[in-house]
């Protein structure tokens, strides 16, 4: 399989590129940063530095386009929502134009924060209502709608709250692991009701497995998959699992932060005809995945 990966320098993109390489696939990786670590993988892969807000022309044919690029920082999206929305729309439009020009399928990665749900569970192609949480999710919602309006063969994969290797250090799990390593309290936010917040945590490696599996099956054309846990997992529970993996006693500081800034619920009156969501639950428990990630970070810090 010859794959074209947008957003390849990001958290999911880096893990996906490594998985494709392990399976012997040809990879064209599009990044924004000229200093991206993916350049170290050349000549095993072809790395292209390009701003996807601008059209691009690459003669090499590909079988599948993995669409991961978007305005990915909720805080920047909150500061300038109109720019973030415009960026997400132009990136998606240019990605679809390229896929159409080379006759490739598109596997588009969306987020559970778009809040999409079927209006009518009794029909096969029911309308979907979107209730995105904040400007970033509005951008991803528009990307989904653009995909469904396109003549390109697009399959959407909705990701839950991800964790895993190579994640940004300002995210909850890397931050919690760093706090445990230095003996500092793990800060767990509480929601507006005073309870420890939680998310449907999902291991990035399991998402990558799903993406590659879907890409290899043409029968999964024009579907919408939700991968991940169907229930939220308390961040307090996550902190305790991480501490146990590192053989440390957890010290937790509950903070009354409330909902994350930029993730307020926004009602968007959008209806889009799509096939029903297809759930792909994880095959391995979140406890095992969290323990694995804790040891990976510990090993990376020791060798740094």
Higher pLDDT, 8 or 123: 8
pLDDT by residue (tens digit) across 181-208? Answer: 888 888 888 776 677 777 888 899 989 9
* pLDDT for the residue 6: 93
pLDDT tens per residue, range 227-280: 877 677 888 889 889 999 988 877 777 765 544 554 444 444 444 444 445 656
113, two tokens: 């924060």
Q: Name the one residue in this structure whose structure tokens are 């995210």.
A: 171
pLDDT top residue among 210 and 168? 210
Task: Please list, in sequence order, all residues whose beta carbon lies within 8 angstroms of the beta carbon of residue 208, skipping any fewer than 6 positions away.
Answer: 12, 15, 16, 19
- Contact (Cβ atoms closer than 8 angstroms) between residue 151 and residue 105: no
pLDDT for 18 equals: 93
Reported as a pLDDT band with limits 50, 70 and 90, residue 281 is: low
Can you tell me the mean pLDDT for 2-21?
Answer: 93
**Predicted pLDDT at 106:** 96
Whether the model pTM is above 0.75: yes
Peptide bond just before 226 cis, omega within 30 deg: no
Structural domains of the chain ordered from first start: 2-164+200-231+264-284 (3.40.50.720)
Question: What does the mean pLDDT of the chain come to?
Answer: 80
Residues 155 and 106: beta-carbon distance below 8 Å? yes
Alpha carbons within 13 angstroms on the beta-carbon side of residue 1 total 23
Q: SS3 breakdown of the chain: % helix, strand, coil, rounded to 5?
A: 40, 25, 35
Higher model confidence: residue 291 or residue 274? 291
**pLDDT, tens only, 124-157:** 445 556 777 777 788 888 898 898 889 999 998 8
Residues recorded for the chain: 304
- Whether residue 27 contacts residue 50, with contact meaning beta carbons closer than 8 Å, is answered with no
């Amino acid at each position: 399989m010859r794959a074209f990966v947008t957003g390849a320098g990001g958290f999911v993109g880096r893990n996906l590129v490594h998985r494709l390489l392990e399976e012997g696939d040809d990879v064209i990786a599009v990044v924004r940063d000229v200093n991206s670590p993916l350049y170290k993988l050349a000549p095993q892969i072809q790395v292209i530095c390009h701003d996807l807000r601008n059209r691009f022309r690459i003669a090499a044919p590909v079988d599948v386009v993995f669409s991961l690029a978007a305005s990915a920082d909720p805080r920047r999206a909150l500061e300038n929502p109109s720019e973030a929305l415009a960026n997400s729309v132009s990136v998606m439009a240019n990605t679809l134009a390229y896929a159409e020009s080379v006759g490739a399928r598109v596997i588009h990665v969306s987020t559970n924060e778009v809040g999409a749900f079927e209006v009518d569970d009794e029909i096969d192609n029911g309308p979907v209502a979107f209730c995105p949480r904040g400007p970033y999710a509005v951008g991803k919602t528009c990307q989904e709608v653009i995909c469904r309006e396109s003549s390109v063969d697009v399959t959407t994969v909705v990701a839950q709250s991800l964790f895993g290797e190579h994640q940004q250090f300002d995210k909850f799990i890397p931050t919690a692991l760093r706090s445990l390593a230095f003996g500092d309290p793990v800060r767990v936010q509480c929601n507006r009701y005073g309870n420890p917040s939680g998310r449907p945590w999902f291991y990035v490696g399991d998402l990558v497995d799903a993406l590659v599996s879907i890409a290899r099956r043409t029968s999964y054309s024009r579907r919408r998959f939700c991968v991940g846990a169907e229930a939220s997992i308390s961040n307090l529970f996550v902190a305790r699992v991480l501490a146990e993996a590192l053989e440390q006693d957890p010290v937790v500081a509950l903070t009354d932060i409330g909902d994350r800034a930029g993730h307020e619920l926004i009602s968007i009156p959008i209806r889009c005809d799509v096939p029903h969501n297809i759930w792909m639950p994880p095959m391995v428990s979140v406890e095992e995945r969290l323990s694995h990630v804790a040891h990976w970070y510990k090993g990376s810090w020791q060798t740094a």
